[in-house]
Amino acid sequence: MPAVPVADGAGPSPAVSDDGAGRAPDRCSNRAPLRFADRLVGALLEAGADEEQAAWTAWTVVYFVLGLVQEEQAAPDRPDDRLTRAVDPAAHPAPHRVAAHSRPGAFEDRPAFGLDAILSRLPE
C-alpha cells in the first residue's frame, strides 16, 4: 500500500498507509458528523436541490448554526443595549436604525429567520 500524507491541522504529520482503495484512513472514530451530513445533504437533494446547491446549502446551514451557538454562549447572562449605545447615529445611520433588532433579546427569533432565508433558495 502506498503511503498517504495526512494533515491534522497541527502541521505536517507522518505518512500513513491508505486502505488499499486509495483513501486515507479515518482518524475520526466519531461517525456522528458524517451521519448528520448524510441526512442533511440527503434531505436537501430530496427537496430538489442539485448537488452543488445541496453541498453549499449544507455548509451554510452548519456554519450559520455554529455561529449562532458561539454567539449565544458568549452573550452575557443579562441582555444589554451596548450595541445600541455604541452606534453613533450621525456616523452610522443605517446600523443605528436597525440596532434594536440586533439586541440579545431578539436572539430567539433570529435562527428561524436565518434558516428560512437560507432554505428559501431551494426549489419548490
Domain ranges of the chain: 31-119
Query: Which segments in the chain show pLDDT lower than 50?
Result: 1-17
What is the pLDDT at residue 5?
42
* For helices 51-74 and 32-46, angle between their N-to-C axes, nearest 10 degrees: 130
Q: In CATH, what number does 31-119 get? A: 1.10.357.10
* Cα gap 16→72, rounded to integer Å: 40
What is the pLDDT at residue 75?
72
What is the pLDDT at residue 41?
97
Phi–psi pair at 40, nearest 5 degrees: -65, -50
* Cα gap 106→99, rounded to integer Å: 11
What is the Cα Rg of the chain in Å?
21
What is the pLDDT at residue 25?
59
